[in-house]
Structure 1
Amino acid sequence: MPRKRPRVVIVGAGFAGYQCARTLLRRTRGAAEVVIINPHDYFLYLPLLPDVAAGALEPRRVTVSLTGTLKGVTLVLGEADGLDPARRTVSYTDPEGVPGRLGYDRLVLTVGSVNKLLPIPGVAEHAHGFRGIPEALHLRDHLIRQAEMAAVTPSPAEREARTTAVVVGAGYTGTEVTAQGVRLTDALHRQSAALGQGPRPRWVLVDLADRILPELDPRLSRAADRVLRERGVDVRTGVSVREATGEGVQLSDGTFVSSRTLVWCVGVRPDPFVASLGLPTERGRLCVDAALRIPTHPEVYACGDAAAVPDLTRPGNLTAMTAQHAHRQGRLAAHNIIASLSHGRLRHYRHHDLGFMVDLGGADAAANPLHVPFSGPLAAAVTRGYHLLSQPGNRSRVAADWLLDAVLPRHAVQLGLVPARAVSLETTTPTAPPADRARMVRRE
């Protein structure tokens, strides 16, 4: 049936999807129907997830209610699993397995990314991913459990293995997980009478690059490296994982690290839903023009990690898969959708990075806002201030948690809410049957 208002359907509510919906609602003021299809009812502020894993922040602090902050949006809980551009419909499956279908006038694909897997024996079975709240909570419980089991084992070798963690990938996520994780395990070590008599917990950070945080200015990389080493982290560059087992990790330099904890932070790849659509891709990401439209279907937009957006500031390159780009692409997609509905002028995406910040926990951070590099307590204050301003909700609660964490000991207990089977690193296997998951009806 004909609709009185044009309907814009947004698939995904990450940085790109959230900002697109927010901008549409503000600027159309009810003139367009904005619908979000998302598996959860919240926007996840990913940069603070390491704080959740380390127990510095409660999980709900990094989640922002979609319906609570996006007044006027229609939220459809479900996983998108098909697209029919001829009929302008997108299909999905709700949390109870019931299929549904939505018509659209404009569609925005912001399905994001998942863990990048490499063909290394044992990694999918033994490694912990780090892409959402379940993984963060599971990792926190796992570290606490290993410390508690190490405290009662009579075997020194087993105690060492249970208090050793290996993190693969020294980019932003891997470095922050390591920096925050050390603070948690050191707190557990101090609180345990049995563990306090032995050596402190060990963290090993490995990466094939010649330095940690290779994306940052070398001065910031060295500053972060110094902080980690001062905390006792064994930083190994130019090294990768050859095999993972239940007993530990075999590294490419021939050494074997006995450990019960392997955290996988080697990067991300577009959600498998992208490949199921049958649309042109580049490096696994949907091909779009500079206005974020899919050329063969100009009513369909894509942005964020799922889109291969040409970088006009560096001809021949694509924009990086970062929250900074996703945030701004979401806003531009909203502008161009409004322009297309009201015969306005389309804009092309052009953005220079404004710098990056790495929170190392406590009074340490490395930052280069506006490409001015500095580190230490000032960088920590700037980094946390930036996160408070960037997060669209829960700012007071986040600040209160940080303050309490600075003056009170960590509350180290296992919640047991997330079983290991719920956070398997292998994310390529869809929950729906392949025939349903990858259906795309194309009519000429």
Structure 2
Amino acid sequence: MRNVLIVGGGYAGFYTAWKLEKKLRSDEASVTLVDPRPYMTYQPFLPEVGAGSIEARHVAVSLRRHLPHTRLIAGSVVHIDHAHRTATVQPTDGSEHELAYDTIVITAGAVTRTFPIPGVADEAIGFKYVEEAVATRDRLLTAFERAATLPPGPERRKLLTVTVVGGGFTGVECFGELLSLATALLKYYPELSEDELGFHLVELRDRILPEVTDGPGRWVVEHLEKRGGRIHLGTSLLSAKDDHVVLSDGTEYDNHLLVWAAGNQSNPVVAWHTDLPVDKAGLFRVRADLRIGTAEAAIPDAWAAGDNAAVPDLASDIPGGSFTVPNAQHAVRQGKRLAKNIVADLRGRKVKPYKHASLGTVATLGIGKGIFQYRRIVLKGPLAWLVHRGYHVLAVPTWERKVRVALVWASAFFYGRDIVSLLSVQHPRSAFVATSIGAGHEKDRMADPPSSRTA
């Protein structure tokens, strides 16, 4: 039996393992998947998790539940030595060890791109994982609770100020959903007014949503500004130190919630800790059939896909120089093609190239609000929002997750969003510790002699 090692359990890695389990014979190959998280996150739903429209657990697909025949290792691959067919694994618990393999599939994805801006490391929350989306939601909900107890003024306005850095799909969807949540919350807080909300979207380029054409991009900016958002185009964040934001366009203000969605960068394992070929951007050089290598020669038993691979875009009108966009749509389909090609290669059959024409781009901007573009077809508002929900409920893997998400949406239609903050979950022992300390003080007081208590 051959040993197939999959590095990373994101879209491409999960779908590769999922399909291999269905296609491989039990005596043909064993599959091992290494990932620090026990689940695959369906990232297109994170903005709705952040806005309380979807339950957090419903966007996390359990690896153990859906990959029963795959050996799962909780940890990270920190080095790949393909010449000797070994990978160095750092488990979540325990020491590093080497793992031998015959075939490797690298779908480690990308990591959040950051810059050495004062205050960002201390104040910002990313928006790549479900934990970050939940923390973003809880912090905004808690801010409303705190603001409602304060008189009008700078402190209250600061609590109701949110900054999202990054004008790609993640940043724009996060901004639109949080703005929608904040506006909806006002009816529960008569003490607060819409004029006190401060929502800022900061983008270095002179436009947002580069995946759509100029017209729809401008419409999104105008739409968000009509709803009270401030869009800073051609602007960078200079400082976020001590909850005070300074922008390159001269704008300064006190800020409470800072969400960092300024794009991704190459996974460091891919870029610096492997003997496999990478390009200047730190991405694997991948052939159209998803084998690592050049068009002239493939490296045996090495495959890659997803955000850590430069995959030729055969559906593009630009011959030779175009690569697939690093998004969920491609990663899912590349994972499926990877599984088919690996099985074909193991059985001595011909592998096929990956080719997929885009189904269009769609973004949610809040409940009942969205943008969709497929070539020259552009939909805006409620219809685009329905397209977004329809597409993604079909795209999220497993019927179990589809049903759960659909049921949450149905309940929200009748009863509204869930606006309960569970920020205290991040400190689960605080109430117990406070009670224990209080009980200790009471015990000490009762142990004192009466005269000392009187004194």
The bucket for the TM-score relative to the shorter chain is: 0.7 to 0.9
**Distance in 1 separating the partners of 2:346 and 2:376:** 38
Question: Which residue of 2 is the match for residue 6 of structure 1?
Answer: 2
Deviation of 1:299 after TM superposition, in Å, equals 0.9
**Distance in 2 separating the partners of 1:98 and 1:161:** 45
Give secondary structure in 2 for the equivalent of 1:417: helix
The equivalences for 1:32-431 within 5 A come to 32-154=29-151, 156-196=153-193, 199-274=195-270, 275-282=272-279, 283-295=281-293, 297-312=299-314, 313=316, 314=318, 315-369=320-374, 372-393=377-398, 394-409=401-416, 410-418=418-426
Contact 2:81/2:274 (8 A) holds in 1: no
Contact 2:60/2:130 (8 A) holds in 1: no
Question: Which residue of 2 is the match for residue 437 of structure 1?
Answer: none
**Distance in 2 separating the partners of 1:280 and 1:119:** 28
Deviation of 1:308 after TM superposition, in Å, equals 1.9
Question: Which residue of 2 is the match for residue 428 of structure 1?
Answer: none
**Distance in 1 separating the partners of 2:19 and 2:376:** 28
Contact 2:82/2:276 (8 A) holds in 1: no
Deviation of 1:175 after TM superposition, in Å, equals 0.8
More displaced 10-residue stretch of structure 1: 11-20 or 142-151: 142-151
Decide whether aligned partners of structure 1 residues 279 and 292 sit closer, same or farther in structure 2, where only a CA change above 3 A counts: same
Contact 1:246/1:260 (8 A) holds in 2: no
Deviation of 1:76 after TM superposition, in Å, equals 1.8
**Distance in 2 separating the partners of 1:377 and 1:189:** 22
**Distance in 1 separating the partners of 2:106 and 2:346:** 18
**TM-score, normalising length from structure 2?**
0.85
Give secondary structure in 2 for the equivalent of 1:319: coil
Give secondary structure in 1 for the equivalent of 2:242: coil
**Distance in 1 separating the partners of 2:218 and 2:264:** 24
Deviation of 1:344 after TM superposition, in Å, equals 0.9
Deviation of 1:71 after TM superposition, in Å, equals 4.1
**Distance in 1 separating the partners of 2:341 and 2:394:** 26
Deviation of 1:369 after TM superposition, in Å, equals 4.1
Decide whether aligned partners of structure 1 residues 276 and 416 sit closer, same or farther in structure 2, where only a CA change above 3 A counts: farther
**Distance in 2 separating the partners of 1:288 and 1:155:** 57
**Distance in 2 separating the partners of 1:63 and 1:369:** 28
In the alignment, residue 26 of structure 1 is paired with which amino acid? K
More displaced 10-residue stretch of structure 1: 345-354 or 254-263: 345-354
Deviation of 1:291 after TM superposition, in Å, equals 2.3
Deviation of 1:62 after TM superposition, in Å, equals 0.2
- Larger RCO, structures 1/2 (Cα 8 Å, 6+ apart): 1
**TM-score, normalising length from structure 1?**
0.87
Contact 2:8/2:109 (8 A) holds in 1: yes
Note the alpha carbon deviations across 1:181-213, whole angstroms, 9 max, x for none: 0122223332124325x7342211121222221
Decide whether aligned partners of structure 1 residues 318 and 56 sit closer, same or farther in structure 2, where only a CA change above 3 A counts: same
**Distance in 2 separating the partners of 1:391 and 1:293:** 26
**Distance in 1 separating the partners of 2:103 and 2:276:** 17
Contact 2:38/2:63 (8 A) holds in 1: yes
Deviation of 1:338 after TM superposition, in Å, equals 1.6
Give secondary structure in 2 for the equivalent of 1:140: helix
Give secondary structure in 2 for the equivalent of 1:52: helix
Give secondary structure in 2 for the equivalent of 1:145: helix
**Distance in 1 separating the partners of 2:332 and 2:217:** 25
Note the alpha carbon deviations across 1:118-144, whole angstroms, 9 max, x for none: 233322222221110121111112112
In the alignment, residue 390 of structure 1 is paired with which amino acid? A
Contact 1:137/1:418 (8 A) holds in 2: no
Structure (1/2) with the larger helix percentage: 2
Give secondary structure in 2 for the equivalent of 1:305: helix
Give secondary structure in 2 for the equivalent of 1:146: helix
Contact 1:189/1:200 (8 A) holds in 2: no
**Distance in 2 separating the partners of 1:255 and 1:74:** 52
Note the alpha carbon deviations across 1:284-327, whole angstroms, 9 max, x for none: 11222222222374211111111122334332233222112211
Deviation of 1:61 after TM superposition, in Å, equals 0.7
Question: Which residue of 1 is the match for residue 430 of structure 2?
Answer: none
Deviation of 1:281 after TM superposition, in Å, equals 1.8
**Distance in 1 separating the partners of 2:119 and 2:387:** 40
Note the alpha carbon deviations across 1:11-51, whole angstroms, 9 max, x for none: 11111111111222222243322221111221110000111
Contact 1:168/1:263 (8 A) holds in 2: yes
Contact 2:21/2:70 (8 A) holds in 1: yes
User: Runs of 4+ in structure 1 displaced over 6 angstroms?
Assistant: none
Give secondary structure in 2 for the equivalent of 1:398: helix
Question: Which residue of 2 is the match for residue 436 of structure 1?
Answer: none
In the alignment, residue 311 of structure 2 is paired with which amino acid? V
**Distance in 1 separating the partners of 2:62 and 2:239:** 40
